[in-house]
Chains A and B, each alone.
Chain A
C-alpha cells in the first residue's frame, strides 16, 4: 500500500518545548489509522503540521503526495478535517453552513449531504450557537464528509460526546467505506472507540513515536502471561527480559506482558527464569490493555483512559 501521509524527521518546537520530535511515520491509503497518546503528547500539533496549519520547525511531511507546506485548495478539497476545538461560524444556521462550505468542494454530493443531515437529526434552520456540543460536532462532520474526501482527519473527535452521539459519529464516518478511495486518520486518547475500527495504530508520547504498525501484528506480538512461580521464588528477579513489560508478583502469582511473543521462545525463557513455574496462562490482549501496558512502562504523562 502506498502511503497517503508520510513524514520524515518531523519536528516542532514552541519556545523551548519540543512538542513533536523526529516523527517519521507512514499511513497507508485505505486504512483507519488510530493515532494514540495521552493529552499533550503532540497529536494535535502533528495534525496541524500535516494540514499546513502549522509549519514544521524541521523535517517534512507529504500528504496526498504533496509537501504539506505546499498544500493548496486542490488538495484540501480532498481532505476532511474535524477537530475537538473546531471553530464554526456560530451565527449561521446548519443549512447556511452547508451553503457556505459547498462551493469550495467540486466533489460535493448533495444527496449524501441530505442523507447525513437526516441520519444525524440535525435541525437545518437552527443557528449553530444554539446547538449542543454533540450537534455542532455532527454538523462539522457533515461538512467534512459531504464532498466524499479521500482522506478524513479527525482530531479527538469523541471527547465530551455522549455515547449516542459517538455512535452516530462513527456510523457517519463509516459511510465513506462505500467509496473506492478513503483513509481515516483519527487521533484519540480514548482507545475504546477505535479498538475494532483501527487496522493501524501509532502511539506517541512526549512528541516521540513509540510504535506504528498494523493492529494485527501488534496484537500478535503482545500477550498477557500469568503463572504460579513455585515456592522457591519469593520475589521477582532483579533483571527480566526487556520485552517483558509491567511484571508483577502477588504471593506466588506472577503476571507480565510479553511484547515480543513467540510461543517457543517465550516458554523456554519462562522455564529458564522460573524453573518451578506452573503451566502459564497466555492470553491475547485488547488494544486498550496493550496501550495501558505501554503507558505504564514508559510512564506516559497526562491522562490515558
Chain B
C-alpha cells in the first residue's frame, strides 16, 4: 500500500499525476515531515508503473525539496515550510480548469458558474 492516494488516468503523463498526488498529500497533511517515502520498486509495484517513471517522480520531488534522501533509510518527506494558502489553492488548478472547460462547453456565463459554486459551498459549510 502507498501512503498517498492516487488514481491514474490515461491522458496526462503518469509522472505528473504522481507528483501532483504526492504534493497534495503533503500539503493536506496526509504525509508529514520525516515520514518514509516508498522506494522506486514499491511505487512501481503498487501502481504497476514503469520503474523509470517512479524514479523520475522521486528525483523530481527531491529536486523540488519535498523529499530528502537519508542514507540507509531511503527517502523521507522533507521539512518543507508550512504550505501557504496560495500553494494550497494551486492544488485546485486542474479541477478549476476542468470546471471552466465544462462550463464553456455548456455555454454558461461566469456568473452562472459562480452561483453554482456558491450554492455548493453553502450546502457543505
Identify the A interface with B (CB < 8 A): 30-32, 170-171, 174-175, 177-178, 196-199, 216, 283-286
Contacts and interface: CB of A to CB of B under 8 A. Distances in A.
Given A196-B50, A199-B52, A284 B11 contact: yes
17 contacts: A30-B52, A32-B50, A32-B51, A174-B44, A174-B51, A178-B39, A178-B40, A196-B8, A196-B48, A196-B50, A197-B48, A197-B50, A198-B50, A199-B50, A216-B13, A284-B10, A284-B11
A286 B10 CA distance: 6
B53 interface: yes
A283 B40 contact: no
Which one of A30, A31, A177 has the highest number of Cβ atoms from chain B below 10 Å of its Cβ? A177
A283 B8 CA distance: 16
Given A171-B45, A174-B44, A196-B47, A283 B14 contact: no
B10 A177 contact: no
A283 B48 contact: no
Contacts of A174: 41, 44-45, 51
Main secondary structure of the interface of A (DSSP, over half): mixed
B14 A196 contact: yes
Interface in B40-85: 40-41, 44-45, 47-54
B51 A177 contact: yes
A109 to B, nearest CB: 15
B44 A177 contact: yes
A170 B50 CA distance: 11
Contacts of A178: 39-41
A197 B44 CA distance: 8
Contacts of B40: 177-178
B10 A285 contact: yes
Interface string B1-17: 00000001011111000
A291 to B, nearest CB: 13
A46 B124 CA distance: 60
Contacts of B41: 174-175, 177-178
